Structure 1
Amino acid sequence: MSDTRKRPAPPAWLLGSVLISCTAAGILSTDLYAPTLPHLPEIFGVTEAEAQLTMTVNLAAFGLAILFWGPVAERFGRRVTLLVGVSGFLASTLLCAFAWSFEALLWGRALQGITASAQSVVVVLIIRETYDRVTALRLMGVYGFALGLAPAVGPLIGGHLFVWLGWRAPFVALAIFLAVALRACWRVAPETGTPQLDALDPVLILDDYMGLLAKRRFLRVAAPLAATSGALFAYLIEGPFLFIDTFGLPTESFGVWHALIVIAYMLGALTATALARLVGPERLTPAGLTLTTGGAVALTAMLTLFGATSLETVVFCLSIFAVGLGLAFAAGTPLALEEAGDRPAGVASALLGASQLAAAALGGATVSFLHDGSSWPMAMAMLVWTGLGAWAWIGLGPPRPRDDEEIERSR
């Protein structure tokens, strides 16, 4: 382990490629699988609500487990945690690929969420601890852009794999991808932290998490990012049903329309990279949050004022949301870790990810409960969640300084 820590930092492009491959697998576990989701009722003889549970359980497991991986990364180091997480993710994906019943698939999806969450914690830490502030922000932008390719091509590939080879094929393809990513991670990923022997002390863990929850500056960034995740997963859960069942898209064509939204997300992430040296994350983050809220408002307004229910209208409004999402996440993630102050970075990264996944699970559960085959449940869920994010950014902002006259009156 000591030799690994002495290893010089790899070039940004090389390290970024390896970390992207590890994290992209987590995104592909949802997006390769998404086109299969509407067909699960026929395959396993379950209801639509039970089929959607495979997505919700995955998100819930991810969100809970991520709180565990933060202290583990502080105790054993970033590299070991990353390798264990990717290895476990590979094993759970094979369980999904060879699931013999719906219950086995459900367990596999839960285990995928538990193991994939390790990458979500460690990757951000390695980037932040390896490079300076501007380079880290630029790499996060490129990172977000590259990760956008996974949901862009994932449903397209997953849809064709399902049509050509059956529902197990997307999981087999993901397992092969994970095996390659694990090998690359073993060869390249550095150790950027110093293991803390007391990091798994339950009292200290609780104190660190409670301390972060008391930090107004940290919450001001973390809460809006979590809220936008709730809005995002309202779309990810409802989108396949809306596009395929309501608008009549062929399963293999779902990825084409979904890719337009993902390209918009990638544009937002690239914008953060381009502006990294000119505009700080303190200004880029609220700009992104404004666009996410604007996209949700536009979708609701189109439905309310014009009764627009066409696929083109829905995708246009979702693309506005996606541009803001890419901008907010690229700038907001390193900003939130900065605002954690003296609290352990691993714990801060874990809490940031857990809050996002908890909101994502709630967003998905909400739209599943309201599902009626129309665009309304998704639009209202996205409007509520982005509104909560805007409220958190404004409400948790620094209090307005009082002038001399106000101070005198208060006396």
Structure 2
Amino acid sequence: MLARLAAVRALSPANSPYFMAALGILTSFGPMGTDMYLPGMPTIGVDLRATQDQVQWTLSAFFLGFGVGQLIWGALGDRFGRRGPIAIGILLYAVACVGCSLSSDIAHLAGWRFIQGVGACAGPVLVRAMIRDVFERDRAARTLSMMMLVMGAAPIIAPLIGGQILVWANWRWIFWGQGIFGAIAMLALFTLPETLARDRRSSLRPMTLALSYRQLLTNRSYLGYAFGSACIYGGMFAFISGSPFVYIDLFGVAPENFGFLFGINIVGMMAMSTVNSRIVMRFGAERILRIGTMLAAAAGLLVLVVAALGLGGLWGLVGALLLFMAMMALINANAMACAMQSFPHMAGTASALAGMLQFSVGSVAGWVVGLLANGTAGPMGMVICGSALLSLLLNVTLVRRAPSQTAP
């Protein structure tokens, strides 16, 4: 077994049959860490005597940890390579899974969820850097889209697993299931080669890191890509945070069936990822990003109208959300590839900062949905619509030309 893994690592990443599959698994920490326990959120509130907004703290805490932690892992990945920091992150994630399962109140559960998010983000942030190590911009965007097809099973399977666990056991066993996924991800990591050569690794000195982040935060195009993508993530996390209560409490969907409605959106994202992977090499990542952002804004407006007026009931809302979520596939992969294109010498740091912004904005969006909760789908629709419109505004005002120039 070890000899086979060593042979796989010896292959060029672009030629390895396991490369995309392993990257897809490592990128799935986000959906596996959130979607699996979504069906149990109402039950957690009852068991721990917590209100809806308090239960949503646990989701926002994970998002916040997932965002802030990326700054740490991005810097460590640029200094020590990609594989070692990912392994440490997986171990931290596994410890936090045990802590979550043993929590006796909502405050401790939120604290462990924050730690779980910090560990979980090591894989996704450094996987994006590994892709940038191997491919140039448009090929990287195509690879990210193809990887979304591989990892697309996670958001479909995760809530279904969580719902079935609730049929046979309590919500605490969901976190043991997440720990098992961590073990699978560690095995996938062993099949990957190190993609960052030693002569390309950067320093961890505070001044060097400060200059790197200053370089990123003063680059107009980078800000447009990173913040625009972060706003779209805010809309996605508004859906993740609000949909369990809207579907289960408002429309009476059984928890074990929640995963099917949730999975419809992932099918839409996978379909658009296929489209993006086929057309990005022809039209370019930036042009498709602009079109995707415009379509997402239109879909966000539709979600708001349907949620506010109740048009079509449950299935009207499901259809509007499907259109919005599908646009994620045209935005995220292209925005991330464009953001990292001008900074190949610090791809880990560029990926980390963009990822931190995505999940920080996402945590705020999820918190706002809980804060405005009134028993209807209106708050979720308002946050989704506002996030999409802001993303379009940032793209139009900050991204004015293709980032073909190198960073100063």
1:64·1:354 contact (CA, 8 Å) conserved in 2? yes
Instruction: Tell me the TM-score normalised to structure 1 length.
Output: 0.90
Partner of 1:386: 388
Verify: 1:231 aligned to 2:241, yes or no.
no
Aligned partner (choices 188, 199, 222) of residue 226 of structure 2: 222
Aligned partner (choices 357, 360, 365) of residue 359 of structure 2: 357
In structure 1, how many angstroms separate the alpha carbons of the residues matched to 2:105 and 2:379? Answer: 30
Aligned pairs for 1:152-171 within 5 A: 152-171=156-175
| Residue deviations 1:58-92 (CA, integer Å, cap 9, x gap) | 11111111111111111111111111112221222
Partner of 2:125: 121
Aligned partner (choices 324, 328, 340) of residue 325 of structure 1: 328
Worse overlay, 271-280 or 206-215: 271-280
Aligned partner (choices 23, 30, 33) of residue 27 of structure 2: 23
In structure 1, how many angstroms separate the alpha carbons of the residues matched to 2:9 and 2:310? Answer: 59
In structure 2, how many angstroms separate the alpha carbons of the residues matched to 1:348 and 1:387? Answer: 24
1:163 CA displacement:
1.8
> Quick one: which amino acid aligns to residue 356 of structure 1?
Q
1:258 CA displacement:
0.9
1:300 CA displacement:
2.1
Instruction: Tell me the TM-score normalised to structure 2 length.
Output: 0.91
Partner of 1:286: 290
In structure 1, how many angstroms separate the alpha carbons of the residues matched to 2:202 and 2:263? Answer: 45
> Quick one: which amino acid aligns to residue 122 of structure 1?
L
Partner of 1:175: 179
In structure 2, how many angstroms separate the alpha carbons of the residues matched to 1:226 and 1:106? Answer: 22
Q: SS at the partner of 2:252?
A: coil
In structure 1, how many angstroms separate the alpha carbons of the residues matched to 2:148 and 2:179? Answer: 22
In structure 2, how many angstroms separate the alpha carbons of the residues matched to 1:303 and 1:93? Answer: 34
Identical pairs, percent: 27
Partner of 1:312: 315
Aligned partner (choices 244, 247, 250) of residue 240 of structure 1: 244
Q: SS at the partner of 1:331?
A: helix
| Residue deviations 1:145-183 (CA, integer Å, cap 9, x gap) | 222221122111111111212112221122112112202
2:247·2:253 contact (CA, 8 Å) conserved in 1? yes
Partner of 1:75: 79
> Quick one: which amino acid aligns to residue 359 of structure 2?
L
| Residue deviations 1:350-400 (CA, integer Å, cap 9, x gap) | 11101101110111111111110111111111111111100001111339x
Partner of 1:396: 398
Structure 2 residues without counterparts, runs of 5 or longer: 1-6, 402-408
> Quick one: which amino acid aligns to residue 387 of structure 1?
L
In structure 2, how many angstroms separate the alpha carbons of the residues matched to 1:331 and 1:376? Answer: 30
In structure 2, how many angstroms separate the alpha carbons of the residues matched to 1:195 and 1:157? Answer: 44
In structure 2, how many angstroms separate the alpha carbons of the residues matched to 1:22 and 1:97? Answer: 22
In the superposition, relative to structure 1, how do residues 310 and 186 fare at CA in structure 2: closer, same or farther (>3 Å)?
Answer: same
| Residue deviations 1:18-60 (CA, integer Å, cap 9, x gap) | 1211221332110111111111121112222211111011111
In structure 2, how many angstroms separate the alpha carbons of the residues matched to 1:28 and 1:307? Answer: 31
The number of aligned residues is 395
In the superposition, relative to structure 1, how do residues 4 and 260 fare at CA in structure 2: closer, same or farther (>3 Å)?
Answer: closer
In structure 1, how many angstroms separate the alpha carbons of the residues matched to 2:26 and 2:344? Answer: 28
